[in-house]
């Protein structure tokens, strides 16, 4: 297996850290791709990932899997311990529910803010739309407060234990630093959670 990875990009880091939490980084060949240098848009890479997405997992039989959560699902089946996506239907549903909430209501909103407001993204986001950035910033910050309230009564996001949802939230909070926003420092319970995941991932 070969995993194409872009360090510091949140979705590639999601699969990388999921595999790390499994203790299986040495089971997969890792190849780094530079998004800022446009390596994901080169013809050779598009043969692996037609939509120029990172990450992509190439299996030994040539099968190609994109979408970070789909890759994590494959790793969960291949390396079942420790379980990070739920042991029964209830756990699986709760973990996916919170993972998707973080993905759609925080990660995606922040990404739209970043893409439409940060100068380094200007060459990739043509044109940048300040109104979209402002709306997405407001949405991301509002949802961070809702997550903080949830974590006031819960050690982990879902099912009472560490899961992929916690990894997604941790990485998204780290990603927020690129806009000089640190929700884990502004919000008490997000900060406690961030520290706990950081310690767990090592």
Q: What is the pTM assigned to this prediction?
A: 0.94
Residue holding tokens 């595999």? 19
Distance spanning both ends of the chain, measured CA to CA:
24
Q: List Cβ neighbours of 47 (8 Å cut-off, separation of 6 or more).
A: none
The pLDDT score that the predictor gives to residue 124 is: 79
The pLDDT score that the predictor gives to residue 202 is: 85
| Domain architecture of the chain: domains with CATH | 2-78 (3.40.30.10), 89-201 (1.20.1050.10)
- Provide the CA 115 distance to its chain's centre, in angstroms: 16
Residues in the chain, pLDDT under 50:
none
Q: List Cβ neighbours of 141 (8 Å cut-off, separation of 6 or more).
A: 181, 183
């Amino acid at each position: 297996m070969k995993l194409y990875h872009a360090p510091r990009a949140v979705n590639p880091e999601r699969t990388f850290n999921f595999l790390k939490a499994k203790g299986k980084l040495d089971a997969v060949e890792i190849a780094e791709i530079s998004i800022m240098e446009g390596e994901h848009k080169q013809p050779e890479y598009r043969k692996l990932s037609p939509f120029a997405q990172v990450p992509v997992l190439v299996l030994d039989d040539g099968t190609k899997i994109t979408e970070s959560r789909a890759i994590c699902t494959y790793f969960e089946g291949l390396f079942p311990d420790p379980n990070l996506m739920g042991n029964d239907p209830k756990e699986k549903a709760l973990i996916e529910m919170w993972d998707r909430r973080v993905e759609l209501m925080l990660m995606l909103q922040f990404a739209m803010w970043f893409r439409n407001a940060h100068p380094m993204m200007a060459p990739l986001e043509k044109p940048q739309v300040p109104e979209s950035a402002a709306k997405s910033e407001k949405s991301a910050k509002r949802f961070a407060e809702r997550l903080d309230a949830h974590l006031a009564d819960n050690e982990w996001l879902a099912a009472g234990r560490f899961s992929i949802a916690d990894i997604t939230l941790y990485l998204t909070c780290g990603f927020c630093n690129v806009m000089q926003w640190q929700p884990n420092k502004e919000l008490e319970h997000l900060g406690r959670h961030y520290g706990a995941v950081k310690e767990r991932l090592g």
